[in-house]
Amino acid sequence: QSALTQPASVSGSPGQSITISCAGTSSDIGNYNLVSWYQLHPRKAPRLIIYEGSKRPSGISDRFSGSKSGNTASLTISGLQADDEADYYCCSYIGSFSLIFGGGTRLTVL
Amino acid sequence: QVQLVESGGGVVQPGKSLRLSCEASGFTFTKYGMHWVRQAPGKGLEWVAVISYDGSIKKYSDSVKGRFTISRDQSQKTLYLQMNSLRADDTAVYYCAKDPHGLVTGYPPDYWGQGTLVSVPA
């Protein structure tokens, strides 16, 4: 199964909002409400920022929000801050105890 | 707080074996499934394997099936990944990660370790 499709890069200025899409199929995103989003900073452990499509773990800013429409999930970051500059990955359950990740999106805060 | 600490990475020649470990703390290890996920240099995340909370379920990605084995030692609160017949394209940072729900296996993980680097020269 191919990786979920994310844009390679997005950018925005401080204070602005950006949205990262994650396109899948009816076998993954479209079939399960089990999409998570992760933030990766260099030399740090990946951090969960959204789970089950739109839920935020404790301690994650409400500037991060997730949604899903059909076979595509989206992550929106509002009020961009310098520290948001990182790589972002979506991940979906695909059944049979297995997972698939997106190709990753590099966010640049201008 | 949840902590996952990987170890065992290093440089290994093609065709050889390596075993990675992941020591867990801060949660009831025996109640959660665990994953291995890797990231090759300059590439994205790739799911590798999962094991259920009791070790009864093990699943692998097609790229490692038959070469890698996931296991766990409940008394030591440690997850393992035995990697055999290593190839250059196995070069990656390997992360262990925890299932978010107790007694349910395979959902996208919540907590991750910082990873350990495995290098297999071409």
Sign of CA pseudo-dihedral A39, B109, A58, A50 = positive
Confidence of residue B103 (pLDDT cuts 50, 70, 90): confident
Q: What's the mean pLDDT in A90-109?
A: 96
Task: Answer whether B114 sits within 8 Å of A101, measured CB to CB.
Answer: no
> Do residues B82 and B69 lie in contact, with contact meaning Cβ atoms separated by under 8 Å?
yes
Query: Measured between alpha carbons, how far is B32 from B107 in angstroms, rounded to an integer?
Result: 11
How many C-beta atoms lie closer than 10 Å to residue A63's C-beta? 15
Query: Measured between alpha carbons, how far is B40 from B64 in angstroms, rounded to an integer?
Result: 14
Task: Answer whether A99 sits within 8 Å of B97, measured CB to CB.
Answer: no
Which residue did the predictor score with more confidence, A105 or A42? A105
* Contacts with B84 (C-beta within 8 Å, 6 or more apart), sequence order: B17, B67, B68, B69
Q: Is residue A1 scored above 80 in pLDDT?
A: no
- Taking CA B12 as the corner, what is the angle to CA A97 and CA A103, rounded to the nearest 5 degrees? 40
Q: What's the mean pLDDT in B67-96?
A: 98
B5-16 tens-digit pLDDT: 999 999 999 999
**B109 min Cα distance to partner chain A (Å):** 8
- Regarding beta strands A86-93 and A47-50, do their DSSP bridges make them parallel or antiparallel, or are they unpaired? unpaired
Query: Measured between alpha carbons, how far is A22 from A102 in angstroms, rounded to an integer?
Result: 7
Task: Answer whether B47 sits within 8 Å of A104, measured CB to CB.
Answer: no
- pLDDT given for residue A76 in this prediction: 98
**A77 min Cα distance to partner chain B (Å):** 19
- pLDDT given for residue A65 in this prediction: 98
Residue of B nearest to A106 (CA): B44
Task: Answer whether B37 sits within 8 Å of A101, measured CB to CB.
Answer: yes
A22-53 tens-digit pLDDT: 999 999 999 999 999 999 998 899 999 999 99
Q: Which of A3, A101, A54, A42 is nearest to B35 (CA)?
A: A101
* β-bridge mates for residue B90, sequence order: none
Query: Measured between alpha carbons, how far is B22 from A50 in angstroms, rounded to an integer?
Result: 24
Q: What's the mean pLDDT in B65-79?
A: 98
Q: Which of A4, A18, A16, A15 is nearest to A107 (CA)?
A: A18
Query: Measured between alpha carbons, how far is A68 from A23 in angstroms, rounded to an integer?
Result: 10
B30-70 tens-digit pLDDT: 999 999 999 999 999 999 999 999 999 999 999 999 999 99
- pLDDT given for residue A15 in this prediction: 97
